[in-house]
Amino acid sequence: MKVFSEEDPLDRSRFPADEWRFVERYHSSEDLGTNETLFALGNGYLGMRANPEEGRDAHTHGTFINGFHETWPIHHAEEAFGFAKTGQTIVNVPDAKVIKLYVDDEPLLVSVADFTEYERALDFREGILRRHLVWRTPSGKLVQIDTTRMVSFTERHLALMTIEVTMLQGDAPVVISSQIINRADGRDEYHKPTDEATPEFDPRQAAEFGRRVLEPQGNWHSENRMLLGYRAVRSGMTIGVGADHSIVTDNDYEPLIATEPDIAKRVYRIDAKEGVPIRVTKAVAYHTSRYVPVRELFDRCRRTLDRVRENGFQHYADQQAVWLEDFWRGADVRVSGHPSIQQAVRWCLFQLAQAAARSDQLGVAAKGVTGSGYEGHYFWDTDVYVVPFLIYSNPWMARNALRFRYGILDKARERAAELTLRGALFPWRTITGDEASAYYAAGTAQYHINADVAYAFNKYEAVTGDTDFMFRDGAEVLAETARMWADLGFWRVNQDKTFHIHSVTGPDEYTTVVNNNLFTNAMARANLRNAAQLLRRMHVTDPEAYERLARRIDLRDEEIVEWEECAEGMYIPYDETLRVHPQDEHF
């Protein structure tokens, strides 16, 4: 029997066990990258790493938009038929988190500041990252700083930030400099590499471009609003980002604003008096497109920010709390008597919400929107791990994830044809729907992706009873994936007639290109059976929908019979001596 260690992996003097919050009680520069991820915010569309408001110090600056990517040519040592040609990588977009603070012209730097109080907390019920500091400046003055950051679940293009500064001891000139920075060349505004703690090689990390990615397309500002716009050089995708500001204080102050191609600044110079608070709000909107020009995205940003002006920040905070209350009603897993385990479980569930909630018919990236790991690609993990959770806890999110798969079905058909296969073959890793894996053996050879997608569709209908969706979208996906299996495999006649699938890679990516992988064959069998059963049911209960589908994809009745035969004859490896199913035929 396996014995699990009772040792807590976290230092509870620094990260106390709070069942509804993830809390940090003191700062350390030794694990910046880890904590930038642990305290990150996102909604499935927009993600912000937990870099400090001041911008320094950071392991990896990061703001990401799901699906916003750059492309690059894949160079193989030797070109071969069917190899992917174009890579896709998520782009680190202009950073609007930056709100720098100067007291007596001394910058607040978390890494070296003398704090008498420090707490950073991510609340799973609010969806807000809060930070409380009391800073003793080099001149001996005490300053209280409270900040909040929220990425909205209800308005997916919106992020809201606040900073409140109060001189507790002494008067001082205070400067608050709110910025949007495009770190276009992979370096920060001080020309230091953005990843300052150079790690060992990690194949999960996104590749660097080695060139400018975002070309400036426009910058604009008014009295309280600033906008920057860009176009990705190769993919042609466009992005607009805008920020609105307001200040509330009884101190005297001077406002300044300016925009340049790669930076926008809203600066408040304040004559701060002891005990008189300063509150600055920052509303940020991001809009992206595959084709729309930046001027149109500027208009979209303006509309998003106009609504914030009309409704106020509290309106969106209240909406966020209501949304999360509903999420937890369907998703919470309660672990009584173990607060540290309860905290870990809820943090994990919260990450699923942050990765999928507002992906809105985009895929769910392997790292969500917390970083550039795995290039921001979508894999089979979405279909076999994330979608089932969403089906039970929030079916609408699951439906959106499945709509993404349906939306790239034509691309999957093209990929199958490229590999001389019938039907459709979904990409192993992708953003656009095109295969982006540069390594065939651990990429395209993982044909089980087709069965994984079909599994997710089938489970969705089984749990939700949404037959209309299944007949409209799911039936076409199951039919085209079943066609691929019937074409990929072959019949072997010895004593029995069995259906075999060779030269594939299963989930074990370290054992590649094998014959009759157990997982692949079992999942393919389910795909074939479920496709046949669905279409026969559809033919009886909704013959009109069946005929429309049959005409659209040129479906023949004998194909369904063939799928049933392939499923019935599927070879499933089994070792009679050991009485186990080996991973593949020769494992």
| Helix, strand counts (H, E) of the chain | 14, 21
As to burial, measured by CB atoms within 10 angstroms (0-12 exposed, 13-18 middle, 19+ buried), residue 425 is: buried
As to burial, measured by CB atoms within 10 angstroms (0-12 exposed, 13-18 middle, 19+ buried), residue 195 is: middle
Sheet (strand 278-289) strand order: 17-18, 21-24, 114-123, 128-136, 142-151, 158-169, 278-289, 238-249, 225-232, 214-221
Structure tokens at 285: 């909107």
Q: If DSSP codes are grouped into helix, strand and coil, which group holds residue 442?
A: helix
CA 367 to chain centroid, in Å, comes to 6
Q: Which of 472, 501, 508 is nearest to 484 (CA)?
A: 501
Q: What is the DSSP string of 147-192?
A: EEEEE-SSSTTEEEEEEEEEEEES-EEEEEEEEEE--TTSB-TTS-
Is 24 one of the catalytic residues?
no
Structure tokens at 312: 């106020």
Q: What is the DSSP string of 468-480?
A: HHIIIIIHHHHHH
Q: Which of 511, 561, 572 is nearest to 539 (CA)?
A: 561
Please give the C-alpha separations between residue 307 and each of 157, 183, 583, in angstroms, as whole numbers.
12, 29, 56
* The one catalytic residue among 208, 254, 509, 568: 509
Q: If DSSP codes are grouped into helix, strand and coil, which group holds residue 64?
A: strand
Alpha-carbon distance 350 to 335, whole Å? Answer: 15
Strand partners, 420: none
Residues classed as catalytic: 509
